[in-house]
Structure 1
């Protein structure tokens, strides 16, 4: 999950030493982070996973003598952008400042060093999730994606499914035994939705974390596969009663079941951890299964895409208790390279006047010309059509936040009539951007 807990106001005295994390320092560094989040230890399997995934040469520590008082890391990600390209992005994580060292400029110095490093690495983007969203706007991050969570009353809500749903077969499988086929489904989904992350080796383990202390009375992690019999990619999977042949795996769901009873009978709940499907019928089959699990009357789903199909298939959306929350915060480290990396839904030819006090190499005028086939973005001396900060460009970058809405909020200023509508249409995405998991 995402890690950040930091706040400071720069001063000129008492600033700790900032340097790249050294071999053998990870435990001290991570303990500093945990303490900043309240000091409750994480389960051993989760701690071990973060240890294995941490990239020491992309991790920073602030040290006051021998004491670690600040942490910040970055993962080497590839992020899907509109048009389907997979773009290098720094996944900013593990950010904290010790409570004893607030207001000494520690956070600002780490953010400064980190963005300078990301630029040196040649990556056009930095992304993060925030425990406190107000922290990162001053460093140029804008909220670029949202997600929806739901608590669905399945005793009252029914699902209307599309044709072909009954042709999909579902079967239970041991989560670890079918990890490869689930990851293959995920990999096929990545290029189709902005905001998704191509999973590097090791990251597949995140979906299997299942510490008993984290279940809060729910079952161990369960998995159901969706298969299409006679598919072109038949699979053979170990699990349950032994080796068995199946059809093409077209989706999966990982979940926990929490049994509960009262005087009226069962009122258990299904806690969805992850679900992916390659087509509408497979997706509907999985959600119908979750709705129909015996002895349950609620499905709790967290961090789902804003446009996921089940929202348009339920009989009563009010009984789904939807809640929207910010997810991925996006920072354009190199404006020109970032805007060239994506495509644009409608033709756009616009000059931006960009303000970026924290990364001044981005400030100035940029002409963006692009369409669904590609784009160019270069410096120009032409008159500006729109004026905005790099924070607004980050918010709009993945297509989930409208430049027009930002204009209505006073965050984008139109200098040429019609330019805002043109840019808004170009930046839009037909698929809502979505971050599938934290980091």
Structure 2
């Protein structure tokens, strides 16, 4: 018998639940000033709370959004943006109960996918989440980074104020579009949560032949302005462009800023083409590669039907989902789409592994070799690789 209850939050409980989340992440206490900044972006809706003796001990929160899947279709999704359990109630099944309640809620809302950024990599696999995208952190030396003559030239770049950024960027992000599998819509609540951060960032906008088509937000760090050093580093937190020319133009701008000794960019796509544009490819140095977005197929039939598949022989996969048993079963995937089938399976895998394959980040042959997929037919992993292959690496590019 549990000593806690899990239920949807009600109006008036937001601040107490936010305090629980902050404590679980070792953040400072929530004072009135901080709560005033965050309260508009922390409504009771979509909050699942755990309570013991009527006091909150855990929270799981989400935001409604939409995600692009391979082939370009955009499906309803949930961005899980805050999960925590109070330190004196961990290891008691609180998180499991909240995850079950939250996934049930997302199913009822008709959301096909859920996604989160994991604080620890060992937590969410047991709830059906898998690493759907990965990203890289890079360090670029402006002194060495000379572009090849054949590299895209880009357009014009202008700096804008924080107030202009608050007005312009939401529409510009929509105009750029969800160009890669894994990219998500940024609802107004997301932008509202970023308002207080804009004051600490420098924002520049790229303009191409058809108007504004890219932006970057960065922050000066490690400022040394005493001769003979005279240098700073730029930390790039957000860089998006509608095309390669816009992305190249923004990078050209960053690498030409005076007194900059290093540009550090975080969470970039693994296939970002900047290094091949440079005469000295070692000017671009990868400092870390890590998991970016963890994905959960909330509605497996709808998710498989939504994405596209390349030409190749169909494959029948058996999916096991003990957390959401209705998803379990056999599915036939092929160039014409995907759906349930009574055919015998050729691959057998858990739903978290299906999430790793879904956006195109991982190959079935790799996961089969690692023991994550059971191949019931010898050539099935290779055939699945061909069907699930995507022309670009998936990437989210949005923190939440």
TM-score computed with the length of structure 2 as normaliser: 0.92
CA distance in 1, matches of 2:182, 2:281: 29
The answer on whether the counterparts of 1:80 and 1:86 sit within 8 Å (CA) in structure 2 is yes
> Equivalent residue for 2:255?
291
**Are positions 1:182 and 2:182 aligned together?**
no
> Equivalent residue for 2:214?
251
State the Cα distance separating 1:261 from its structure 2 match: 3.7
> Equivalent residue for 2:113?
125
| Offset from partner CA, 1:32-62 (integer Å, 9 cap, x none) | 1111111424798875564323352321111
CA distance in 2, matches of 1:433, 1:42: 36
> Equivalent residue for 1:144?
132
Q: Residue 202 of structure 1: SS of its match in structure 2?
A: helix
Residue of 392, 397, 400 corresponding to 1:436? 397
CA distance in 1, matches of 2:313, 2:291: 27
> Equivalent residue for 1:156?
144
CA distance in 2, matches of 1:351, 1:361: 18
> Equivalent residue for 1:306?
270
Q: Number of residue pairs matched?
A: 398
State the Cα distance separating 1:170 from its structure 2 match: 1.9
State the Cα distance separating 1:187 from its structure 2 match: 1.5
Unaligned ranges ≥5, structure 2:
none
Q: Residue 27 of structure 1: SS of its match in structure 2?
A: helix
The answer on whether the counterparts of 2:213 and 2:242 sit within 8 Å (CA) in structure 1 is yes
> Equivalent residue for 1:419?
380
**Are positions 1:227 and 2:199 aligned together?**
no
Change (3 A) 1:190 1:42: farther
State the Cα distance separating 1:131 from its structure 2 match: 0.3
**Are positions 1:361 and 2:326 aligned together?**
yes
**Are positions 1:387 and 2:348 aligned together?**
yes
CA distance in 2, matches of 1:348, 1:117: 36
Q: Residue 65 of structure 2: SS of its match in structure 1?
A: strand
> Equivalent residue for 1:74?
62
Q: Residue 323 of structure 2: SS of its match in structure 1?
A: coil
State the Cα distance separating 1:106 from its structure 2 match: 0.6
- Return 409-418 or 341-350, whichever deviates more: 341-350
The answer on whether the counterparts of 1:193 and 1:431 sit within 8 Å (CA) in structure 2 is yes
State the Cα distance separating 1:284 from its structure 2 match: 1.5
Q: Residue 304 of structure 2: SS of its match in structure 1?
A: helix
- Return 123-132 or 44-53, whichever deviates more: 44-53
Aligned Cα RMSD in Å?
2.3
CA distance in 1, matches of 2:263, 2:92: 46
Q: Residue 133 of structure 1: SS of its match in structure 2?
A: coil
State the Cα distance separating 1:224 from its structure 2 match: 1.8
Q: Residue 122 of structure 2: SS of its match in structure 1?
A: helix
TM-score computed with the length of structure 1 as normaliser: 0.84
Change (3 A) 1:348 1:21: farther
State the Cα distance separating 1:279 from its structure 2 match: 2.7
Unaligned ranges ≥5, structure 1:
1-11, 213-219, 233-247
State the Cα distance separating 1:207 from its structure 2 match: 4.6
Residue of 170, 195, 202 corresponding to 2:189? 202
CA distance in 2, matches of 1:55, 1:423: 42
The answer on whether the counterparts of 2:310 and 2:388 sit within 8 Å (CA) in structure 1 is yes
Q: Residue 335 of structure 2: SS of its match in structure 1?
A: strand
Change (3 A) 1:312 1:368: same
1:48-67 equivalent positions in 2, closer than 5 A: 48=36, 50-67=38-55
State the Cα distance separating 1:263 from its structure 2 match: 5.4
> Equivalent residue for 2:246?
282
Change (3 A) 1:368 1:164: closer
CA distance in 2, matches of 1:101, 1:252: 43
| Offset from partner CA, 1:104-162 (integer Å, 9 cap, x none) | 21111111111122222222211111101100111111101011111222233333364
CA distance in 1, matches of 2:149, 2:306: 37
